[in-house]
Amino acid sequence: MGDPRKIKSKFSRPGHPWQRERIEEERVLVREYGLKNKEEIYRARSKLKTFADLAKKLIAARGSQAEKERQQLLSRMARLGLVKQGAQLDDVLGVQLRNILDRRLQTLVARKGLARSVNQSRQFIVHEHIQVGSRVISAPSYHVPMTEDGAISIIAASPFANTAHPERALPPMKPDVPRPPRDDRRGGRRPPMRRPMQRGGQRR
């Protein structure tokens, strides 16, 4: 039968669990991009580190094979929308974590106006209402290549394909209603009147 295959983790966690600046940054990213948990940040960060390590290795490498691998890396990064066409290896080292999160399907669905928020965008994708080209994608973390950027849409059989659907229509803006003036510092609520105490602890 042989030894069972050991499943390796596809991402690495932070070395130190209690770093205030990192925790605050991750909290902002989770809220801004509608992530399920911080593991999605760790996966994107590990992917970013893989690209950076490969770029550092190829910068120091020499030979025809190294040049071929450089072109393959730059072509792949440009296809994923992380660098521009004609970029150099130094541009790969300048790719930030937000550049990867911006290319997630969940982010693009919300920015294209197919959903009202990134959280609703995640719900549409998980419930298989979103297609990329002719494929229905149910993974919010799907990295959308530049060639498929304009092929994101809601499937025709979905009720959300109708732009007048209540879940897609933007809520009406409420008119500004002036607030009434406050009678006192407590916002109109006056403190209760207390009766004076008599001898023996009883009130009059």
pLDDT in tens, 4-13: 677 677 777 8
Identify whether the C-beta of residue 105 lies closer than 8 Å to the C-beta of residue 139.
yes
* pLDDT of 15: 80
Task: Tokens 């580190």: give the residue.
Answer: 49
- With 70 as the cut, is the pLDDT of residue 168 above it? yes
The fold adopted by the segment(s) 105-161 is 3.10.290
Q: Taking the CB of residue 56, how many other CB atoms lie within 10 A of it?
A: 13
How many Å apart are CA 26 and CA 141, to the nearest integer?
Answer: 16
Higher pLDDT, 31 or 166: 31
The overall pTM is greater than 0.85: no
Q: CA–CA separation, 17 vs 42, rounded Å?
A: 13
Domain boundaries, the chain: 20-101, 105-161
Rounded to an integer, the average pLDDT of 15-24 is 87
Cβ 111 vs Cβ 177: under 8 Å: no
Q: Are 48 and 97 in contact (CB under 8 A)?
A: yes
Mean pLDDT of 166-193: 57
Residue pair 34/141 in contact (Cβ under 8 Å)? The answer is no
